[in-house]
Amino acid sequence: MLLNMENISKSYGPVRANTDINFTLGKGEIHALVGENGAGKTTLMRILYGMEKPTSGTVLVNGKPQSFATPADAISSGIGMVHQHFMLFPSFTVAENIVIGQEPGKWSGFDRKAAAAAVEKLSKQYGMPVDPHKKVETCSLGVQQRVEILKVLYQGADIIILDEPTGVLTPLEVKELLVSIKRLASQGKSFIIISHKLQEIMEVADRITVLRDGRVTGVVDAKNTDIEQISRLMVGRDLVQMERSAPKLGAPVLEVRALSVPGDRGKPLVDDASFKVHAGEIVGVAGISGNGQSELIGAIAGLQEASSGQVMLAGQDVTGAPVRNIRELGLAHIPEDRYQWGAAKDATVVENGLMGHARQQQRSGIMRGRSIRKMVEGWVKRFEVKTGSLDTKVQFLSGGNLQKLIAARELAQGTPFLIAAEPTRGVDVGAMEMIHGELLKRRDEQGAILLVSSELTEILKLSDRILVMNEGRIVGELAADEATEEQISLLMAGGKRH
């Protein structure tokens, strides 16, 4: 075996993140690592990449014991990692990002021409085309993912760890990435993929290791298993298949009228958008990332200024109103970026539970500390948020557990209107089932929900109507029971509905 991780355990005080884990990887193998949020996947890979030291256990590369104190040690042993959030410099070119740390002509002066030539050769060798002269900030997310992989290949990696590699990619970019991974594996590169997207795992993986509560619950060959078995190993039970009943529409809760949001270069980011969301329905918004969905959400929630048009909430014009006023009128918001808009990383679990709704928890200007803690504790239990205590800073939660906390906080408000933007990003199948169930329950209780998601399966599963955005415009509206993934993908790409 190329890699052996033997009896790996990792403790943080009394908390056990990994317990006696054995994990192997062969040359040219694609090995997936899956599990619930907080199951210990990322901790195990941080140990392999030199970001953490194991409490006990051994790592062997090519049969030789290794002890990695830093990522540089791991890189020197042929291990590279592409993180969930890209580690690129936006103002640098593709070539500059790939060769950084190992620049040609480093001591005599950076040789940009040699760097571009090296990157061009590398991209042709591995069939991953990039423009070495293009600035990363102008590249699509799919190309940025490619740059990250080329960077670790340039560093000489034979083992490549991918952490949630398709989380921000379009369906077409996902397909291209999976093809690239298979091609690289056929050329002798080995992959460890951490992912919650089991369908993609089944398409690309040779073997799958499942973790639950820091322990291995199964190692299976992908060709001899199915998604249902993997899900059972992950959550310890069968998942419930949800059925969506016909909507019982009430009055319009949100009305967007000819809304436009300006862009930096004259072209609007949202262009003349008009639609309604009624009580008792979920309206899905589908679109390739960067086509105006974020700006549309921002303008509705009061986070972004509109150049024209109106936003009406519960019959009142809230266009350009302060966020607090819009919140108090009845808006809750699961934001698409949990770190930028949804949480304060240095604040505790209970403090984050108050955010956006603190005024509702006051009596005569005084916070009701005991009842607040009881309320947040209820959310933590109900949504199975794994945390040491309510006083833990949320920076120490896994991304999926923070997502569950934010979803619990916003759903618990019982507001007339909810924006759910990427509500299940980075969560496991069990948490996804729970959040989907809560969204449908809220809708059946006559809540109005605007669902924005890059996951077409999520849009199709939950929505009663689907709006499709392309280049800032709403280019199509489809009834969910008539829509297909192919129709939506065509509209997302700028095609016309037949």
pLDDT of residue 58: 95
pLDDT of residue 409: 93
List, in sequence order, every residue forming a beta bridge with 161; answer none if it has no partner.
Answer: 81, 192
Q: How far is CA 229 from CA 193, 208, 213, 222, in A?
A: 19, 11, 17, 11
208-250 pLDDT, tens digit each:
999 998 999 999 999 999 988 998 898 887 766 677 788 899 9
Rounded CA separation 379/457 (Å) = 26
Q: Do 322 and 303 form a contact (C-beta atoms < 8 A)? A: no
pLDDT of residue 115: 92
Rounded CA separation 277/450 (Å) = 7
Rounded CA separation 331/470 (Å) = 26
SS (H, E, C) the chain: CCEEEEEEEEEECCEEEEEEEEEEECCCCEEEEEECCCCCHHHHHHHHCCCCCCCEEEEEECCEEECCCCHHHHHHCCEEEECCCCCCCCCCEHHHHHHCCCCCCCCCCCCHHHHHHHHHHHHHHCCCCCCCCCEHHHCCHHHHHHHHHHHHHHCCCCEEEEECCCCCCCHHHHHHHHHHHHHHHHCCCEEEEECCCHHHHHHHCCEEEEEECCEEEEEEEHHHCCHHHHHHHHHCCCCCCCCCCCCCCCCEEEEEEEEEECCCCCCCCEEEEEEEEECCEEEEEECCCCCCHHHHHHHHHCCCCCCEEEEEECCEECCCCCHHHHHHHHEEEECCCHHHHHCCCCCEHHHHHHCCCHHHHEECCEECHHHHHHHHHHHHHHCCCCCCCCCCEHHHCCHHHHHHHHHHHHHCCCCCEEEEECCCCCCCHHHHHHHHHHHHHHHHCCCEEEEECCCHHHHHHHCCEEEEEECCEEEEEEECCCCCHHHHHHHHCCCCCC
Q: What is the mean pLDDT of each run of 10 residues along the chain (498 residues)?
A: 95 88 97 88 93 95 93 93 87 93 78 92 90 91 89 93 82 85 94 90 95 93 92 80 83 96 86 96 90 93 94 95 92 90 90 75 58 88 88 87 92 93 85 91 95 89 94 92 84 68
pLDDT of residue 487: 86
Dihedral angle computed from the Cα positions of residues 126, 60, 31 and 41, in that order, rounded to the nearest 10 degrees: -120
Backbone angles phi, psi at 258, to 5 degrees: 45, 45
pLDDT of residue 421: 94
- Tokens representing residue 95 in the block: 């070539």
- Tokens representing residue 456 in the block: 């077409």
Rounded CA separation 123/129 (Å) = 5
pLDDT of residue 363: 55
Q: Do 98 and 149 form a contact (C-beta atoms < 8 A)? A: no
Domains and CATH numbers, the chain: 3-235 (3.40.50.300), 251-493 (3.40.50.300)
Rounded CA separation 440/347 (Å) = 30
Rounded CA separation 159/185 (Å) = 10
pLDDT of residue 231: 87
- Tokens representing residue 238 in the block: 């069968």
pLDDT of residue 496: 61
254-264 pLDDT, tens digit each:
999 999 999 87
